[in-house]
Structures are given as structure tokens and as C-alpha cells.
Structure 1
């Protein structure tokens, strides 16, 4: 491993999410989530796939924890399934669900691995969606109650807490363009879902701290925004720059600034629900860390005629691509971290890279191994970018690879493989890839 050394207390981990790996969607008293509904709807998921079994982590978690122990990570970022703990999103908790996570966390701790727990990774109980979902302020209140239940039960074992994973994705993909559950197409009318998710975050931070949690943060997906250059001058036009500023406000600043600054970008304010400012003190709870999930930069240009949005997305070209159609741009992570630090340095707690990873068409070869040199190159390049950002003054304390296992990749089903461990979905056999061994070797020397 040629990456410069990281500090001895740097936290190394892997990440997963409940819906993508657990399976057992109708076992243990679990209620239906919006993703169960979405996957059962014709045409929503590639090849008609679903997550009823997924990687069968619900039954195979001891094997998966043993793999993490073999890997040598210091932390495991997982998520609780809200409908497994509260099948209808409210009321008394489901004892079987709590017991499952008791066993899971006990096993993680016994393996010498620190649990990092996400309360919500997009699996809203369907009963709450039926009464408005994230378009309803009441959902935030229900989430605060859920956080109190989980905090009271598990605060003694969880090292770090993340209330919501990537609220931007729920707002944009779930409510604005309908590619993800719950599948609504509201465009800018989806922006109130950001406010209510932020309120849920603030209420959860309060509930977790009241339950004894000592380290509470967040995990937001962020992307550098690259304006398209004018083909005649190689310079951005004023219109392109304005589009880039709007998109940056929509997908980056709308999710960072309410929690860090207690305010919204000016472009967003007119789209927020009445009375939003009253909730900003609750939203802007002090954080112990800030989680950054990074996958790619986003290109943008001025909108064409007839576009209802103030920007037009553009492909970022000239880079190798993953099988999830993401350009591989390690220096984009350095750019993001440095610009984020420069913009928010007075308000920014220590950063953890809570997700970073890539998908390729990994297969078990004739030798019984999975050779994934592209993933090794990806991880090596992105870790070098993190180290460069740290050298530039950014306070980064940890890095979590997405993901431990191949898993259900939302609307794209099982084709994209993000794992350090290959999963044969027919037999559920786990095969550590070459990248697993590479990461293992890195951790032995860091």
C-alpha cells in the first residue's frame, strides 16, 4: 500500500444498510416499508428484482461479523430498519426487532468492532407514507419517538450515531424525480421533505443525547458541482455558473447549512413550508462529527428551453466509469473536502468519510477467487485524496468503505456489485474479493 500514513487513531470501517442486506422482510414482526411497496410495483426495479432475501444478513450476520473481524476494521456502520422496530412507524416497539438488533450489536462488540448506527436509511414504514411520509411534519415527530426507543435500548453499545442517511437522496430521488421509493414526481415541490427530514434529525439528536449517546453526527451525500464550459471559449457562461450555484444549493447546501448554520440557501427559502424558521434551532443541534458520503462530481449547465428546472444535469466525461454509471474522480473528493472546510470551517466538526465505494461486474473466476483490480485502484486513489485534503488542513477522522457485501442496489437491483465480499445470491456464499485482502493489508499497517 503506497498511500501516506494516516494517524494512529484514524477510524477504519465498512458500511451497509438494513434494506440492502437483511432480507427477512416478512419475518420477526417487521412491517412493510416504502421500499417493499416500491419493489413490488411493476417496472420500478431492474429485472423485477426485490430485497425479500437480499444478502440474507438477518440470518447470516454471525458469518458477516466474522468477515469484518478477519478484515480488521475498527468500526461497522450499519442501519436499523425502522419498520422492524416500529412496524407502523409509531407506538410500542416490536420486541422481536429489538432483540434481533441486540444480538447483532452484541456480536459486533464481542468481535472488538465499534458499532456506528444509522437510524434511517430510506426505509420509511409504509403506514407513515400513507399519511404523508416526509411531506408531513408529523413524520418528524414520529421519528423523534423512534430515536428515543432505539437510543434507550442501544446507547450503551453504539459508538457513533447517524440519525438519517443522505436526506438529499430521499428528497430528490424519492419525491422529486421518482426513481426511488416512494416514487413521487414533484420536482421543486419536493423541497419541504428536506425540512421535515432535518426536523427529524434535530429531534433525534435530542432524543439520542437524552438516552446517553455521546457521539452524534450526520451522513450527507455531497458532490462537487462542475459547470459546463462554453464550447467556443472553454469558459463557463454566466448562465452555466448560475445553474451550478442553484444545483449546489439544492443538493449540497440545503442539506449541510440547516444542520451546521441554522439557515437555508436563499434559492431554497421560497420553496419551504410556512413556519420553517421556527424549527431551525431544533435542526441545528451541535454535532460531534459530520459524515460525508462521496461517489462522484456532478456536471451541470444552463437549462435548455422547456426545462422546468433552473439547471440541466450534464454527464462528467473523460473518466473511467463504474457499472453504476459513476465517473471515477478521486480528486473530486479532495476538492469537495477542501471546499467544504473552507466554506464552513468555523462551524464544522471533525469529518468522517461515511461512504465511499464503487461497483464493478465482479465474478468468481475459475480459480475460485474474485479479482477486482479496478476497486483496489479506486480505493487507493480516493484514500490518497483524503490524505491530501488532510494535509491541506481538513480534519478527517475516519473512512468507511461502501460496502462490506454485494447487496441490493435500489432501483438497479443486484447488477451493481459494491462489496469487498462477493455474494452469490442463489447460494448466499460469501467470497472475499482481492480488494478485501488489499484493505486487510492496509489496516495491518495503519
Structure 2
């Protein structure tokens, strides 16, 4: 069967600054929370860090040439806040700013649409020393940082994304302590969540009031929730997980409220205490699109022994090397969930992809598992479009193998293989296959 996409469907790839750029101390870049976290013993796989990564900072022209060769239409990258300010706040670092100007110019020269994420987790450490996202002062610093980037790159960037995966960097960084900055404090987590939402809303408001011609939105990591059984307690547990991981971030931005399930829990009192009168109006300032990162579903079971009275149940069957269940239909279900609960806002898959045990054989990587993974997810996305979902584009994660946060360099998500010793780039079979998908604009099952 043939699945044909609209001619203006936007096919792209995605990356993130700390995961690929390297050059951690080059041209005035200051330390980020990930520099600190990754160099603290025990935090990452074998102490891996992003000091060198893929050296994209020095090889960006070579990388853009590969994007051009593959026919990629859009490149989603993130900006490293620690490159832009010498003090994390107001003292501009011209060399760091120039890198992103040059990057965007090179993309446009090659007819590739620049998609820029303002925050993909690498907060300047100097701001974390003042409380990071739990300190309300950070809102004005972020808005100023955004204004500098808008002024520098403005309408040359096709889409601006305020934050990437707020649930992940806030829960894993402030509640569970397994990502930077490595904090385990529920009250600080709730304060950080609200401050991030306010920073997002104020930034969208600034962008709109400045009359830039292109679009602004946010990227959320979302997962459809399935109850473990038909028992009412499992159904309630699945709804609670949905509120915690999905609606805690969707509702404020798209509905101007936090989920009742959150506010009515004992820890909701902290949230209620910090919400000011006009906060929710600021947070829900209209966005142009919603970016969705999808990797798998969640199967949820009631459990009295857990803090929030539920737990996620791992499923048997096919998994990626991250241990995540391969569940393509979850993408179709998720996209319809957004449409049914939040209206038919324009959507983009801003990340979807898979890590596998890639083997370099005679200079080639035959990653058939990744091809099959992407094919099934593309088909799932097209089925959602046929069901009325307003999906406009799809950015595969990731353009290249990279530093996978606490997992270090052992998990490979890329369409392009990186030899971390030599920094050589080698296109995998999946990259060549994706190039044909883009060229033909259809998938055959």
C-alpha cells in the first residue's frame, strides 16, 4: 500500500547543541549545567561528557553539506545559551552569536529551513547557582536571551521553539535527579515548572508583539497512556499519569489551567500558592504550532506502594536499545488525542527515532531495524492525517549519533554514524532510505 503525503509536508531532522557541538570552552562559551553534571562522578555512563561530542561547532558546514545531499527540507537545531552570554544574563558574547548567524546563513544558502530551539537543556551553570528554573528571576533572563536571538536571526528562522521537552528536563532534573542539575525536590520541581511556563508565555508574547513574520511554538515529549487492565483503579491510574506527564504541560499552554488531578493532590498546594492572578493568561498566549516528541506509549497500573499510586509496566515484544517498546500506533493515537482535547492546532513531530546497536561493516551501517521503525511511524502519522489531524511536518531524531545525556555515547540514534575518535561522518542505510522518502514524498508498505 502507498501512503502519499501532501507536497508541502515538511521533512526534516533534529539535533541539540550540547549533544553535538563539542567545543565546550571555545570562543567564550561558559559552562552549562550539563558540563557540571556530566563531570560529577557517577552521573553519566563511564563519566562521558559533551566536551567534544561530534565537533559540530567546527564542522557545521560539512554537516549542512550532508543535509543538502540527503535532500533534507528542515533542520531543527538548538541554541546553546552558554555561548550567547559571558555572564549568562546580559554580557553578550559576539563570537557565540556569530556561530548561529553563520549556521542559519549556511542553511538558507542550501535551501534548508532553519528550525531553532531556544532551550534544549544546557542552562548556564552561573544561573543554576542562583536557583536555576526554581528561581523566578530566571524568567527575565530567558526572555532577554530570546529577544537577543530574535533580533539576531529574526525572520531567517522558519520556526522558533521556546523549550524542548519540559517534562523531561524538569522531572528528571529537579524531581528524580537523574539529569542535570541532579536535584530531588518536589516543591522546587513545581516552582521550576511554573517558571518555565511563564518564561515560555512571556517569550511568545514578546515574539508576537514584535511582529516577526514566522512562527513560534513549543516542543513537548508526549506519550499516550494505556491502562494495564479494564479495572477502574488502573483506568484512574492511567489518567493520573496522563495528567502528570502530558496535561501538566499541555493544559497550561493550550487551555490556561493546570489539571485538576494535579491541583487536588497534596503537592498541588505548592502550585496554588505560587500562581498569580494573570499568570495563566501569560502562559497560554497563543502559539502557532505544537511540536511533539514521540518515542513510545505508557502502560499504567495502580500501585498503592508508589508515591503517586501507580507505576509504568514494561511490555514484552520489540524494543529499541534504550529498552523502549516499539509501538508505532501510539503515535496515531496521541495525535488524535491532541486534536480531540486541544483543537486542531498545527502539529509537527519534532522528534521521533530509535537507538539500535549499529555495527560498522566495511565502511557501511545496514540499520534495517531503524528503517523499519521509521517506516511504521511515518505510516502511523499518515493515518492520523487521514483521520483529520493537522500534522504539517516530521523531524527525525537524530541527524547524527550524539551524546545521549546520562547514557553517554553508547546509544546511537543517528541517521549518520559518528566515529567519535576521528569525527568521521558515515551515512547509514536509514539516511539513504529517508532521502528517498523525502524525494518521493510517500511510503510503501
TM bucket by the smaller chain? over 0.9
Match of 2:78 in 1: 79
Matched, 1:284 2:278: no
For 1:335 and 1:409, how far apart are their aligned partners in 2? 27
Query: Where do 4+ consecutive residues of structure 1 move more than 6 Å?
Result: none
For 2:248 and 2:405, how far apart are their aligned partners in 1? 24
Matched, 1:351 2:342: no
Kindly indicate whether the alpha-carbon contact (under 8 Å) linking 2:200 and 2:283 is maintained by their aligned counterparts in 1.
yes
Deviation (angstroms), 1:187: 4.2
For 1:213 and 1:148, how far apart are their aligned partners in 2? 15
Match of 1:224 in 2: 224
For 1:390 and 1:18, how far apart are their aligned partners in 2? 31
Deviation (angstroms), 1:277: 4.7
Match of 1:232 in 2: none
Other structure's SS at 1:70 match: helix
Match of 2:325 in 1: 327
Matched, 1:422 2:409: no
For 2:187 and 2:226, how far apart are their aligned partners in 1? 21
Other structure's SS at 1:163 match: strand
Match of 1:166 in 2: 165
Q: How does 1:193-272 map to 2 (within 5 A)?
A: 193-209=192-208, 210=210, 212-229=212-229, 235=230, 237-269=231-263, 270=268, 271-272=270-271
For 2:177 and 2:213, how far apart are their aligned partners in 1? 35
For 2:214 and 2:118, how far apart are their aligned partners in 1? 15
Matched, 1:38 2:62: no
After the TM superposition, which of the residue ranges 180-189 and 293-302 deviates more from structure 2? 180-189
Kindly indicate whether the alpha-carbon contact (under 8 Å) linking 2:155 and 2:214 is maintained by their aligned counterparts in 1.
no
For 1:8 and 1:267, how far apart are their aligned partners in 2? 42
For 1:309 and 1:187, how far apart are their aligned partners in 2? 12
Q: TM-score, normalised by structure 2?
A: 0.95
Kindly indicate whether the alpha-carbon contact (under 8 Å) linking 1:148 and 1:211 is maintained by their aligned counterparts in 2.
no
For 2:140 and 2:279, how far apart are their aligned partners in 1? 12
For 2:309 and 2:285, how far apart are their aligned partners in 1? 31
Kindly indicate whether the alpha-carbon contact (under 8 Å) linking 1:45 and 1:410 is maintained by their aligned counterparts in 2.
yes
For 1:267 and 1:414, how far apart are their aligned partners in 2? 38
Matched, 1:314 2:313: yes
Of 424, 432, 436, 2:427 maps to: 432
Aligned CA RMSD, in angstroms, stands at 1.3
Change (3 A) 1:88 1:243: farther
- Describe the superposition over 1:244-295 as per-residue Cα deviations: whole angstroms up to 9, x where unpaired: 1111001100111111111110122324142345311111111111111100
For 1:92 and 1:151, how far apart are their aligned partners in 2? 17
- Describe the superposition over 1:401-443 as per-residue Cα deviations: whole angstroms up to 9, x where unpaired: 0000000000000111000000000010100000001001111
Deviation (angstroms), 1:363: 1.9
For 2:212 and 2:390, how far apart are their aligned partners in 1? 25
For 2:274 and 2:410, how far apart are their aligned partners in 1? 42
For 1:298 and 1:89, how far apart are their aligned partners in 2? 37
Matched, 1:389 2:384: yes
- Describe the superposition over 1:331-364 as per-residue Cα deviations: whole angstroms up to 9, x where unpaired: 010111111111111xx42101110000001121
Deviation (angstroms), 1:3: 4.8
For 2:195 and 2:213, how far apart are their aligned partners in 1? 23
Kindly indicate whether the alpha-carbon contact (under 8 Å) linking 1:304 and 1:312 is maintained by their aligned counterparts in 2.
no
Other structure's SS at 2:76 match: strand
Of 310, 315, 340, 1:342 maps to: 340
Count matched residues.
434
Deviation (angstroms), 1:73: 1.2
Match of 2:98 in 1: 99
Deviation (angstroms), 1:227: 1.7
Change (3 A) 1:148 1:312: same
For 1:276 and 1:107, how far apart are their aligned partners in 2? 44
For 1:420 and 1:17, how far apart are their aligned partners in 2? 15
Other structure's SS at 1:191 match: helix
Kindly indicate whether the alpha-carbon contact (under 8 Å) linking 2:44 and 2:405 is maintained by their aligned counterparts in 1.
yes
Match of 1:362 in 2: 358
